[in-house]
Structure formats: structure tokens, C-alpha cells
């Protein structure tokens, strides 16, 4: 059934029928995992498909090939779509992986945990922004770090494809940077990740990306649980405050709020994720920073340090992986640009909170924080003079309650906001503004109760991931709103053999997008690992 599902999805066919009567609890098998997130829209365009590689992962050694995309699928391309298909069975943890082209990470993912009988899944991502990498033959690496032994038997059989959709009269070539670059001498420096960038003198726009993930099963995988209370399993002097920064030659050039990723073994309850993973689990999105105001500090032909850092970490604590790249737009006439930084201001972190840890059976912490950053710069090239202003403000608001006993309960209500406004003003022209307003968070609980004398763990989660984009210029205003909502609860008896856990779960995901052209929505739901709902079509906003 799993292979049939993968082939059906690839061919655009209907997915298998829904379960008429789901089982009363989990058994040795369940439906293949899926998400409500739609694949990249291709408007029915034909595609040239390249089978890049297929590999069974049993270790931390990556699979490597060399790809000559232009020879296989001549451009120009209107869109490039990456597709990963995976199969695994037996027993295995969730694992983190990525795809790198020419040394640049273009896709970051985590895997589902398998059933004994085996599962298959797939994920697609629009990677058109990285098309400049594919203009020449490039090494391609697929990493899925895995351990296989007598206990953990699951081998991840992974297949990587790239689909190239050619440009035509109504579908122009993808609008991308001229160059996508890996940093030179990229290395980890303590808790930071740093490398060098030598910028072309005709650079007129600069963007940095970083895939930032806390993982490894320790405190930093669940950094949003951190408290300042002594004795709590995830203690941090700055509590749950985390901020991802980019620095240029030691100077802060951008700030961002990290996303609270939940992998398929997360929240002590893999049963919750067997059918539907949490948002962004299969497709981990990068953080983007507009660095155009800083071009005047970088375009002298010399190497400069670009550094990425997670603030809020305890000294010596590990757990974060930062995988960056930079994207460069160059003057269309090759003219050396004149650039200067006009303003760069980083506000202080404004914190407000309260810790009440006097009663071991009723501890709580309220924690709020804010930070603001603004940068403004000017670039003068063959297109004239353009002033670029970047404003970014971050907010975090967390309410945490827990008990300190061995089978203690945890309740967390958390929300983050990451608001960025980019304004470009050409000399003698009118301003163009792009705003990205991201709001994401969760309301969850881990509760243990005695049932027939044995501890039974129940995990409940409500996750939201919203993004509103607005573009305003003299030509008018365009906007879109994307909302991704997951709700679910799962229970199992712990401290017993796996076959005696009597696990149950219910989960639901609703993905919705509204824009000037209308709306798109899909909702899916599962009971005990089997899908009972899969519907598309716009309804009332959830």
C-alpha cells in the first residue's frame, strides 16, 4: 500500500480511500503519513524529471552524486521542484537530514518514525530560488544521519528527484538572484557558525539564509520549555529566550525568532505524529535576512566574516545546527556600485516575567520579550540610486506551568511574532514596501495519570503557523495569508512493553491560503493512525 500511495501521489492520482472504521488503538501498522500542505503549484506545465539518486541510509555517511542539470533538462526554467520519497520499516528514531547542491543547503527535513510493517512518505519543495546553482555541473549530497543495530532496525530508503519546468511565453524564467553562494571556510566556532564572503563590486542586493534547528534530543531541541527554575530538566539563565542573529564582521546585521520545530518523536509521544506531522516537520523553512543595507561594508573585494549566532544559550551548551548561504544580485551592466550604510540600530531586549517555583506541585513562569532592529543603506548603480530600509521586530510570550515530581505534568502556552518590513525607495521614485508578518505558537500539555496502577501519558497540542505577506507600490497592493493549524491528542501506557501500550491518538491539520485571487484549503484528520478525513475546498476560515 505504501508504494502504491507514493506512485499515486507522483502521478497526481487520488489518495487511497479513508478508513471506514479505524481500530480502537494502534497496532503494528498505520497509514502512510501525509500533510495538508499542497505541493508547489506548476500550472500543469510539462516537466523534465531528473532521478538524482536513491540510497538506503544506515549511517551518517551522505549519498553523493554529480548533477549536470542543464545537459539533462536545458533551461531556462520557470520553476524547479525538489521531491523526496522515503520508505522505512521496523524500529527507528526520527532523523534529521538535508540536501546540499554545490555545498549549499537547499532543503532541510526530518523523518517520520516507522511502523513495524513499514511506511512511505514524500515531500516536495519549490527550490527555484537556488536555480543559479544548477547552471553548471554540481555535486549533490543527501544526508540522513541514521544508526542501525539490533534494536533500531529501520533503514531509510530515500529517493531524490528534481523536476524542471521550462519557461514559456506565459511562464517566464524564475526570478532569482544571480548567484547563490556557500560561505568560504565555513566552520563552527563554539556555539556560532561562521565563514567568509568576498562580494563582487557590482553587487546591488544581498540576502542571507540560514536553516536553524535545535535537535539532538536534549534541552535545545525543546528550547521553548526552558525555565530559570533550579531543578527543572531544561534550565537556562535566560529561560526560553532564543534569537537567531547574523553578524557582518562582528556587527549585528539581522535578527529573527526561531521556529519551535517539533519532530516526530517530540513531546514524549511519537503516536501523536504517526499519521500527521507537526507543521514544518518535513519541510524546515530557512530564516531570511535582507543584508542590502550592508553592501557598502562588504564590496571592497576583500573577504569578510559572516557569522550566525543563537542568543539565549547557556555557556558551552550544544544542540543547534546553523546551515547558511548567501544570495547575490548584481548590477545588470556590471557597473561597480557605490554603497554606504546609513543606519544600523539594535534595540535592547525588553524582558518581562515572573517565576513562582515555591511549591513543587504548582510551579509556573511567565516570560515575555521584545527586540527591534532597523538598518538603512544606499546603493548607486546603473539603475540609479536606491535606498533600502529593513525593519524587524520580534516578540515572545510564554506561559509555563509544571510540577517537579518524577511523572510531572507540563503545560505550555507560547506565541512568537516576527514582523519584517522592507522598503525600497529609488531616487526620484515612489516607495515599494514588502511586509512579512509571521505569528506562530502552541498550546500544549504533557499529563501523566495512573490507570490500573500504571502511568499513562497523554499529550495534547494545538499548533498554529500563520504568515501574512503584503506588497505595496505605486502599482497597487497585493496580499496573501497562509494559515497552518494542527490539533491532536495521544495517550499510551508507559513503562510496559511496546505491545502493551494501548496507544490511541486523534489528530487534524487544516492548511489554508487566502490571496487576491481567492482561497485554497485542505483538511485532513486521523484516528489511531488511519485517516478518516481528507477534504479540499474553501470553507469558513478556521
Q: Cα-flanking dihedrals φ and ψ of residue 222, to 5°?
A: -120, 45
Domains of the chain in sequence order:
1-173 (2.60.120.1200)
| Alpha carbons 102 and 88: distance in angstroms, whole number | 28
| Alpha carbons 64 and 106: distance in angstroms, whole number | 15
Q: Are 445 and 407 in contact (CB under 8 A)?
A: no
Q: Any residues with CB less than 8 A from the CB of 27 and at least 6 apart, and which?
A: none
Q: Are 120 and 3 in contact (CB under 8 A)?
A: yes
Of 326, 323, 322, residue with least CA distance to 298 = 326
Which residues are 489's β-sheet partners? 460, 506
Q: What is the pLDDT of residue 339?
A: 97
| Alpha carbons 233 and 248: distance in angstroms, whole number | 35
| Alpha carbons 407 and 456: distance in angstroms, whole number | 10
Label the pairing between strands 287-290 and 384-402: unpaired
Of 34, 518, 74, residue with least CA distance to 282 = 34
Q: What is the pLDDT of residue 63?
A: 97
Q: Cα-flanking dihedrals φ and ψ of residue 293, to 5°?
A: -60, -20
Q: What is the pLDDT of residue 143?
A: 97
Q: What is the pLDDT of residue 2?
A: 33
Cell numbers found for residue 450: 495512573
Cell numbers found for residue 58: 544506515
| Alpha carbons 105 and 86: distance in angstroms, whole number | 19
| Alpha carbons 115 and 272: distance in angstroms, whole number | 13
| Alpha carbons 115 and 33: distance in angstroms, whole number | 11
Cell numbers found for residue 180: 547563490
- Residue whose entry in the numeric block shows the C-alpha cell 492548511: 511
- The string of DSSP letters for 245-302 reads EEEETTEEEEEEPPP----TT-TT-GGGGSSSPPTTSSSPPPEEEE-GGGGGGT-SSS
Q: Any residues with CB less than 8 A from the CB of 315 and at least 6 apart, and which?
A: none
| Alpha carbons 240 and 351: distance in angstroms, whole number | 11
Q: Any residues with CB less than 8 A from the CB of 123 and at least 6 apart, and which?
A: 35, 83, 84, 109, 282, 283
Query: What is the mean pLDDT, run by run of 10 residues, along the chain of 542 residues?
Result: 34 55 92 96 91 96 96 95 97 96 98 95 98 96 96 96 95 96 96 97 98 90 94 92 98 98 95 97 98 97 97 90 98 96 97 88 94 98 97 98 86 98 95 98 96 94 98 95 98 89 97 94 97 89 56
Q: Any residues with CB less than 8 A from the CB of 407 and at least 6 apart, and which?
A: 448, 455
Residue 358's region, left for phi above 0, alpha for psi from -120 to 50, else beta, is alpha
| Alpha carbons 22 and 17: distance in angstroms, whole number | 12
SS3 content of the chain, % helix, strand, coil (to 5): 10, 55, 40
Which residues are 346's β-sheet partners? 373
Q: What is the pLDDT of residue 9?
A: 38
Collapse the DSSP code of 8 into the 3-class scheme (helix H, G, I; strand E, B; otherwise coil) and give the result.
helix
Q: Are 89 and 113 in contact (CB under 8 A)?
A: no
* Dihedral in degrees, nearest 10, Cα atoms 289, 294, 297, 302: 40
Collapse the DSSP code of 71 into the 3-class scheme (helix H, G, I; strand E, B; otherwise coil) and give the result.
helix
Cell numbers found for residue 467: 504568515
Amino acid at each position: 500500500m505504501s508504494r502504491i500511495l507514493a506512485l499515486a501521489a507522483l502521478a497526481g492520482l487520488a489518495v487511497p480511500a479513508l478508513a471506514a472504521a479505524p481500530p480502537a488503538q494502534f497496532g503494528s501498522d498505520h497509514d502512510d503519513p501525509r500533510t495538508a500542505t499542497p505541493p508547489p503549484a506548476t500550472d500543469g506545465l510539462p516537466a523534465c524529471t531528473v532521478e538524482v539518486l536513491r540510497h538506503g541510509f544506515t549511517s551518517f555517511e551522505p549519498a553523493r552524486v554529480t548533477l549536470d542539470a542543464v545537459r539533462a533538462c536545458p533551461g531556462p526554467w520557470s520553476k524547479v521542484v525538489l521531491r523526496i520519497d522515503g520508505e522505512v520499516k521496523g524500529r527507528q528514531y526520527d532523523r534529521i537530514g538535508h540536501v546540499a547542491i554545490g555545498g549549499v543547503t537547499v532543503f532541510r527535513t526530518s523523518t517520520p518514525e516507522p511502523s513495524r510493517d513499514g511506511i512511505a512518505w514524500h515531500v516536495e519543495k519549490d527550490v527555484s530560488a537556488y536555480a543559479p546553482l544548477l547552471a553548471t555541473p554540481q555535486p549533490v549530497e543527501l544526508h540522513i544521519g541514521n544508526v542501525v543495530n539490533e534494536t533500531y532496525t529501520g533503514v531509510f530508503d530515500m529517493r531524490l528527484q528534481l523536476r524542471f519546468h521550462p519557461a514559456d511565453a506565459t511562464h517566464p524564467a524564475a526570478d532569482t538572484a544571480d548567484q547563490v553562494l556557500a560561505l568560504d571556510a565555513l566552520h563552527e566556532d563554539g556555539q556560532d557558525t561562521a565563514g567568509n564572503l568576498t562580494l563582487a563590486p557590482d553587487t546591488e542586493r544581498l540576502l542571507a539564509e540560514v536553516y536553524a534547528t535545535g535537535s539532538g534530543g536534549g534541552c535545545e531541541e525543546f528550547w521553548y520549555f526552558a525555565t530559570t527554575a533550579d531543578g527543572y530538566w531544561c534550565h537556562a539563565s535566560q529561560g526560553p529566550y532564543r534569537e537567531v542573529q547574523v553578524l557582518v564582521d562582528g556587527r549585528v546585521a539581522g535578527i529573527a525568532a526561531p521556529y519551535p520545530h517539533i519532530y516526530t518523536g517530540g513531546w514524549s509521544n511519537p503516536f501523536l505524529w504517526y499519521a500527521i506531522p507537526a507543521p514544518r516537520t518535513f519541510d524546515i523553512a530557512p530564516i531570511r535576512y535582507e543584508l542590502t543595507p550592508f553592501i557598502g561594508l562588504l564590496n571592497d573585494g576583500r573577504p569578510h566574516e559572516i557569522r550566525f549566532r543563537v542568543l539565549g544559550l547557556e555557556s558551552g551548551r550544544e544542540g543547534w545546527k546553523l546551515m547558511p548561504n548567501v544570495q547575490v544580485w548584481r548590477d545588470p551592466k556590471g557597473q561597480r556600485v557605490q554603497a554606504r550604510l546609513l543606519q544600523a540600530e539594535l534595540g535592547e531586549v525588553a524582558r518581562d516575567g515572573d517565576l513562582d517555583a515555591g511549591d513543587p506541585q504548582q510551579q509556573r513562569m511567565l516570560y515575555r520579550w521584545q527586540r527591534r532592529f532597523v538598518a538603512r543603506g544606499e546603493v548607486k548603480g546603473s539603475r540609479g540610486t536606491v535606498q533600502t530600509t529593513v525593519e524587524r521586530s520580534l516578540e515572545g510570550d510564554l506561559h509555563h506551568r509544571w510540577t517537579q515530581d518524577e511523572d510531572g505534568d507540563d503545560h505550555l502556552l507560547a506565541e512568537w511574532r516576527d514582523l519584517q518590513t522592507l522598503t525600497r525607495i529609488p531616487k526620484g521614485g515612489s516607495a515599494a514596501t514588502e511586509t512579512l508578518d509571521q505569528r506562530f505558537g502552541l498550546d500544549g500539555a504533557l499529563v501523566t495519570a495512573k490507570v490500573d496502577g500504571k502511568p499513562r501519558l497523554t499529550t495534547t497540542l494545538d499548533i498554529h503557523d500563520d504568515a501574512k505577506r503584503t506588497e505595496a507600490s505605486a502599482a497597487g497592493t497585493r496580499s496573501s495569508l497562509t494559515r497552518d493549524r494542527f490539533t491532536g491528542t495521544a495517550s499510551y501506557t508507559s513503562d510496559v512493553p511496546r505491545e502493551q501500550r494501548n496507544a490511541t491518538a486523534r489528530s487534524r491539520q487544516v492548511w489554508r491560503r487566502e490571496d487576491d485571487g481567492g482561497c485554497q484549503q485542505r483538511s485532513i484528520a486521523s484516528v489511531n493512525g488511519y485517516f478518516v478525513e481528507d477534504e479540499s475546498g474553501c470553507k469558513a476560515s478556521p
